[in-house]
Amino acid sequence: MFDKSKKIALVLGGGDLVKSLIEECIFKKIDFKIIAIKEYYTEIKNIKPQYYIGYNKIGNIFKILNQNNIRSVMFLGNIKKIPLQRLRPNLITFYYIIVLLTYYNKGDAELLNRIIKIFSKKGFDILDTRVLLKKYLASDKENNLSKFTKIISKETIKYYFELAKNFGKEDVGQSIIVKNNRIILREDKEGTDKMIEKYKKIKSNFPAFLVKVSKPAQDLIIDLP
């Protein structure tokens, strides 16, 4: 059960679900502050973040949380890990880079798990965004499969799901595009959107399917696909 009496911080990157999360917080009259990752956050009409924070000052996040007496945090949105040599961090951010250095190139799952531990050790609760986003997420009961039964079956969906899960084990990406039971494109470090752009250049009369799943060790509380 979500405790609406808690003041929370929404740490947000890019993506459509970001707007949905903000709207749900407003609708449910939750007391919240937005901390936008400025390299990725997309401006939303009539909704202005209270704080913008860039990669080079990401370590300031704890100061912001403490100044606002916030102990509960939600993370949502697309962000990408950038090469360390491109960073020009302030002192506190440099400190956390050193703390995370061992995990930075080990894969997203290990890095994010370590970040969660840092927040928890400082006394912050990481809240699950799915609690507020239920109506936007598919489930066994809530989905649109009935609209597409002529072109794909539930058994085929399960097969494609396993293909994507096996690809996710490589920790390179979590999305594939499948056509005629064959993977024709795989997500790489450029992300899902770039993969879709590549597909648009492929001419075909047969339907293809984008399959995006969580990686085997992915923590959905902080990293929703």
CATH number for domain 8-131, candidates 3.60.15.10, 3.40.50.20, 3.30.365.10, 3.20.20.210:
3.40.50.20
Taking the CB of residue 177, how many other CB atoms lie within 10 A of it?
23
pLDDT (0 to 100) of residue 1: 57
The residues spanned by each domain of the chain are 8-131, 138-212
Q: At what angle do helices 108-121 and 91-104 cross, to 10 degrees?
A: 130
pLDDT (0 to 100) of residue 106: 74
Give the whole-angstrom CA distance, residue 210 versus residue 202: 14
Mean pLDDT of successive 10-residue stretches along the chain, which has 225 residues = 82 92 94 94 91 94 96 91 89 93 78 90 94 86 83 91 88 87 89 89 86 80 76
pLDDT (0 to 100) of residue 4: 76
User: For residue 41, with 0-12 CB atoms within 10 Å meaning exposed, 13-18 middle and 19 or more buried, which class applies?
Assistant: buried
> Would you say 50 and 35 are in contact if contact means Cβ atoms under 8 Å apart?
yes
**Model pTM score:** 0.82
Residues in CB range of 86: below 8 A, 6 or more apart: none
Helices and strands counted in the chain (H then E): 6, 8
User: For residue 176, with 0-12 CB atoms within 10 Å meaning exposed, 13-18 middle and 19 or more buried, which class applies?
Assistant: buried
3-state secondary structure 118-184: HHHHCCCEECCHHHCCHHHCCCCCCCCHHHHCCCCCHHHHHHHHHHHHHHHCCCCCCEEEEECCEEE
> Would you say 216 and 165 are in contact if contact means Cβ atoms under 8 Å apart?
yes
Give the whole-angstrom CA distance, residue 140 versus residue 150: 19
pLDDT (0 to 100) of residue 90: 94
pLDDT (0 to 100) of residue 146: 84
